[in-house]
Structure 1
Amino acid sequence: MQSLIDLLKTLQTQITQNGERKALFVYTLIAIMLPVVGSRASQLYRTVTKLFKYNVTIRRFYGFMASPKLAWDKLWPIVWQKILPLNHTEGPILLSIDDSMVPKTGKNIFACGNHFDHAAKLNQSRYIWGQNIVKLSCLKNIHGRWASLPLNFRFYRLNKDVAKKNFQTRIDQAISMILSVLKVCRHRSVLLVCDNWFGNGSLYLPLKKELGEQFHLLSRLRSNSVLYDQPTLPKKRKRGAPKKYGKRRGNVAALARRHKRNAKTYQVELYGKSREVRAYTELLMSKSLKTQIRVVWIYSGRASWVAIFSTDITFTVAQIIEWYGARWKIEAGFKELKQELGSLSCQARTKHAVTNHLHFCMMAMSLLWFYVAQKSSKPSRRYSVINRKSFAFSDIRRLFAEEIEQEEFSEGLGIFTKLHKNKFISTMLQLVA
């Protein structure tokens, strides 16, 4: 808890406004972290005034939530410096990038547009009116389970909705966020784990040119991607430039059928369990990435297979499978962000109000994971699920709510006095009601 208090104090120093705004910044973060109500501005105001007994008018609180003076470009690097080295073992920092749709109702909402939804069901429209969020996360193994800690985000807007000089593709936004994060950890190797939409040369080549051997990519291959052998040096020197690629081996699907009989069994830590996985690996060349990659075909059942690759050929098969399996946590992170923290129910419409609200939710989520990582033992799971022993995100919020009323937390921050236990719980019940 002391590490979290110190981090909140450091964040407060970056709020250059008066003391009221410094207090409101910490109150808002804590209110979102508590499992009390949702994170709408009206619900946060009720939590700040009723639970923390802070005297502020609703007009001033709404003005704070829509303030253009919150320097998130200075606040986020403070969080990165704490969570990137968190639980560091020998190996690269795992980053993950993905985008998600946030449906909205109403007009004149910032960053809204008719976005194509490739994951829409048969009974749903292919185009969704809402916001498209590109989120960069850090994958960490905390107390035996993987977690996705948000680091930054961008709103993707269609070219027709913005001026051409300000238009950025999702790839451009991903590159700019990754470079901003890597300025904090310049001397650490980074592995970006992503799906096959981002795992291509348009993302890899610019980052490789900028970062060199510090950056590597782990992603999934499309079934029609063509792979080549490593070029062999000719016995005699020939005229012209040397070959960059060897013999054409075929596409990924054809190679998957060919290598299935030679697959071996590997013991892999996957989805919280030690599992036996049948896989085959080979070093091949990719023209889209312009480099040698380690390809791993994973087989399950008679005809089911998945092909993943890593640009760092020193990684083992078990590492590649485990780290790519951890990528699914960014999808779980979107659910925790939207439903549990309540970012989906945001009713803000203006640019700064929408942006500040999402920044608050993502930072609160990262702080909760930072808080539980500092604990000596993992939280107990409240609701048992068959074949699932790891704790849930809701268990972290419940544990945080139990410890927040302790005197050490109140005195450490110095922003509100310790509440009596019965009064604290009764006030929380009133907010929920």
Structure 2
Amino acid sequence: MFIEGILSDDNSIFKFLRGLDLDLFLSKPQFNHLTAFLNHMTRESYDGKISNVKHRHRTSLGRFLNKSQWECDAISTHLQSYITSYIYNRSQSTGQPVYVSIDDMTCVKTKPSSQASHPIQGCGWHFSHVAKRQVYGHQFVAVVLSCDGITLPYQLIPYEKDKASKIELVQQILKTLPTPPLKGYFLADSWYTCTSLLTLAHDEGFAYLGAVKTNRVIFPKGHRPKGIQLKVFAHQLNLKDLDLVTVGSTQYYTYTYEGRIKGGELVKIILSWPKKTVFNEKTLRCFISQDNQLSAKQILKHYTKRWPIETFFRDTKQSFGLANYQIRTLKGIRRLMLLIQLVYLYIHQKKTNHQSFGETLRMHQIECYRDVIKFVHDQTRHGMNLSSIFETLKVA
């Protein structure tokens, strides 16, 4: 008996995976490996390394991730269908819009020597927004779906620059989304804002709403046909041209431009500054929206709904070792990203409205400890000796 067999139904990842029908895609040994892996990903000792997974030999788990014949893409598609149904049903029942947030993150790895016989596949040089320079490692593109305070990971995959650009990769992912039941928004930072994604959002029944670089060219009256950059146009404004809006607890001065941008798209662009640093070029932030019915305040408020993708990266790094994995094949890395999505979904479905993700994970860990202690207590009462208990718990 393994520890996962000791856990109560309320804590059972086995029950969760069966509820997702993942046993239809995996053999019994593969399903057991998946269950064991996810169980130990929720432990305090897990830091992303296979060697942390107890009660399974690391060679067996390595084969499961790198070589075993199971369809990662089929499971990923099945999981996407589940997440889409969950979020879209939430939108239908609450009347709230669906948010599709797009972003990427970089995991730094050590650059191998030219003599390395087995370098990590898929590594390359990528620009890190955190380090603000080129770093060597993997870059992952993530798409998460949100509605009414619920955020679930739709896709998390490594970016391979020799196969497609990040924009093309994101387009491939977004084309798999059905039209939202009510309103829907694509949310992204300025690195993703481009004509092709604006067009795709419209074609897929969403509205694009994201940050835009301040060197973007607009065509206000008096600056046609050549246009003017947003940051240059901002210098021509004065305080009476601006509106003061409050988003959360922060006040911003804003200016609203409605018109075309380079590429011909008719949009609404908000130029905003924190109240205390109005007209400071370093604090100027610009946001673009295809939904021209939204006010400046509504656009800024909608954009804050992109924040959960940042917390998703933080939580998976801190709790599931997203940046610490030691897998050399791209197939294994893709499969590990799928496992991270699954374990994140498992912990999230246990979350209450008043708990953070970290608090929920900690409560789950405490509940698992209690289950093991309860098991020891019950077995002792039924006459099992200590050595047998040690053997059952694989700590003999």
Task: Specify the TM-score bucket, using the shorter chain as the normaliser.
Answer: 0.7 to 0.9
CA distance 1:283–1:91, shift in 2 (3 Å): farther
Superposed displacement of residue 73, structure 1: 3.1
CA distance 1:347–1:15, shift in 2 (3 Å): farther
* Matched-pair contact (CA < 8 Å) for 2:50–2:58: no
Match of 1:9 in 2: 18
Superposed displacement of residue 93, structure 1: 1.1
Whether 2:131 is the aligned partner of 1:120: answer yes
Superposed displacement of residue 127, structure 1: 3.5
Match of 1:394 in 2: 358
* Matched-pair contact (CA < 8 Å) for 1:83–1:370: no
* Aligned counterparts, 1:49-60, within 5 A: 49=55, 56-60=56-60
CA distance in 2, matches of 1:42, 1:317: 51
* Matched-pair contact (CA < 8 Å) for 1:11–1:78: no
Number of residue-to-residue matches in the alignment = 355
- Find the partner of 1:277 among 249, 252, 259: 252
CA distance in 2, matches of 1:2, 1:345: 26
Structure 1 unaligned segments of length 5 or more: list them. 50-55, 160-166, 231-244, 380-390, 407-417
* Matched-pair contact (CA < 8 Å) for 2:242–2:254: yes
CA distance in 1, matches of 2:298, 2:183: 15
- Find the partner of 2:186 among 171, 175, 192: 192
* Matched-pair contact (CA < 8 Å) for 1:33–1:364: yes
Match of 1:69 in 2: 70
Match of 1:215 in 2: 206
Match of 2:294 in 1: 315
CA distance in 1, matches of 2:44, 2:295: 40
Match of 1:331 in 2: 310
- Find the partner of 1:150 among 153, 178, 186: 153
Deviations for 1:339-366, whole angstroms, at most 9, x for unmatched residues?
A: 3310211111123222111221133223
* Aligned counterparts, 1:356-395, within 5 A: 356-372=335-351, 375=352, 377-379=353-355, 391=356, 393-395=357-359
CA distance in 2, matches of 1:315, 1:169: 31
The TM-score normalised by the length of structure 1 is 0.71
CA distance 1:329–1:6, shift in 2 (3 Å): same
Q: Secondary structure at the match of 2:173?
A: helix
Amino acid at match of 1:103: V
Superposed displacement of residue 86, structure 1: 6.9
- Find the partner of 1:101 among 100, 106, 117: 106
Superposed displacement of residue 108, structure 1: 2.0
CA distance in 1, matches of 2:254, 2:238: 8
Amino acid at match of 1:338: K
Q: Secondary structure at the match of 1:85?
A: helix
Match of 1:236 in 2: none
Amino acid at match of 1:419: V
* Aligned counterparts, 1:219-238, within 5 A: 219-229=210-220
* Matched-pair contact (CA < 8 Å) for 2:157–2:337: no
Amino acid at match of 1:135: A
Deviates more, 1:83-92 or 1:293-302: 83-92
Whether 2:296 is the aligned partner of 1:291: answer no
Amino acid at match of 1:113: G
- Find the partner of 2:233 among 252, 255, 259: 255
CA distance in 1, matches of 2:95, 2:235: 35
Deviates more, 1:74-83 or 1:149-158: 74-83
Amino acid at match of 1:317: A
Amino acid at match of 1:94: Y
CA distance 1:276–1:114, shift in 2 (3 Å): closer
CA distance 1:362–1:216, shift in 2 (3 Å): same
Whether 2:350 is the aligned partner of 1:419: answer no
State the Cα RMSD in Å. Answer: 3.4
Whether 2:166 is the aligned partner of 1:170: answer yes
Amino acid at match of 2:41: I
Percent of residue pairs bearing the same amino acid type? 18
CA distance in 2, matches of 1:323, 1:317: 10
Q: Secondary structure at the match of 1:345?
A: coil
* Matched-pair contact (CA < 8 Å) for 1:32–1:341: yes
CA distance in 2, matches of 1:23, 1:78: 23
- Find the partner of 2:331 among 348, 352, 356: 352
Superposed displacement of residue 405, structure 1: 6.6
CA distance in 2, matches of 1:119, 1:420: 43
* Matched-pair contact (CA < 8 Å) for 1:294–1:309: yes
Q: Secondary structure at the match of 2:372?
A: coil
